[in-house]
Amino acid sequence: MISRTINNLATSKLDLKVRCSLSGQTKIFHQYTTHPLRVSNPFRLDKNNSHRLYLYLRNNSPGLLAEDELNLAVQLEQGSQLYLTEQAATKVHPVLEQNAAAQVNYQITIAENASLEFVPEPLILYADAALKQTTNITIYPNSNLFWSEIVIPGRLARGESYKFNYYDSCLNVTSSEGQLLFKDRSYLEGKNNQFKNSSLFAAHSIMGTAIAVYPEIGCHKLQKAIDNIVIADKNEAIVATSTLPYEQGIIIRALSNKSEQIKNYFRSALNSIRSLQDDSALPYIAK
């Protein structure tokens, strides 16, 4: 177990802004990070689209410890295109005192005609872990968003499942005028979860959520494209989709016993969306 030798709150910050150059390529124009957060060098991975920027977020620590606080701000200016991922899964370590949960706060702004694909690696909730995560996203007219999350309830290979304390997550998506478009709030109990041994959760303990907002495509075309994705083994994954309020887009919920199943499904979903835009498929992204 990893613990801190000091009682001060460990706060880390990342501030990232991207914009289009005169040639139309998305480039970083502002970047500020404090230890242990880092941003990778920029990559151009699309064969037919040199405008999109690919970046990794890196956390050079063992994971999230008690009382850690990460504040991440990402801003996309008009017309920019960013694919953002992480280099490795985020490990959430034990919390031995009450009110000592780790915290992660995202502030994301997507300007008009900009596109963000945010596909982080899974969260792994160790025994006695506690995490609060808040994600606030502001989207301008005709901006696109694909956001996903995968939660693994422990080190499953060690037989550690649902032994964490809790995971409290809140996602707010608002318009540029400040109107709340939709909110997704979840509070996942760990060791006190009365459903953890049910046939549904015991067999499919890993959870995934993805949100797709693409105004020019429309939610009906989005849902049809996603519903046409074939699941390789339906015994290993359960997937459902529904329309977001105001028909802003769709939300995808997935349960599986393997994180790779959900990763592959979300990758297929994003590829389907790119196809609707006549955009290139996702390239190989080394981790």
Residue 268: strand, helix, or coil: helix
Residue 138: strand, helix, or coil: strand
User: pLDDT means per 10 residues in the chain (287 residues)?
Assistant: 47 97 96 96 91 96 95 98 97 93 98 98 98 98 97 95 97 96 95 84 90 95 92 81 93 95 96 96 90
- Quick check: 188 and 208 in contact, CB under 8 A? no
Residue 80 backbone dihedrals phi, psi, to 5 degrees: -80, 155
Retrieve residue 26's tokens.
């998305």
The pLDDT, as a whole number, for residue 201 is 75
The pLDDT, as a whole number, for residue 44 is 95
Strands 180-189 and 130-139: unpaired
Question: Dihedral of CA 265/214/121/78: which sign?
Answer: positive
Retrieve residue 240's tokens.
């459902």
The pLDDT, as a whole number, for residue 10 is 79
Residue 150: strand, helix, or coil: strand
Retrieve residue 148's tokens.
């996903």
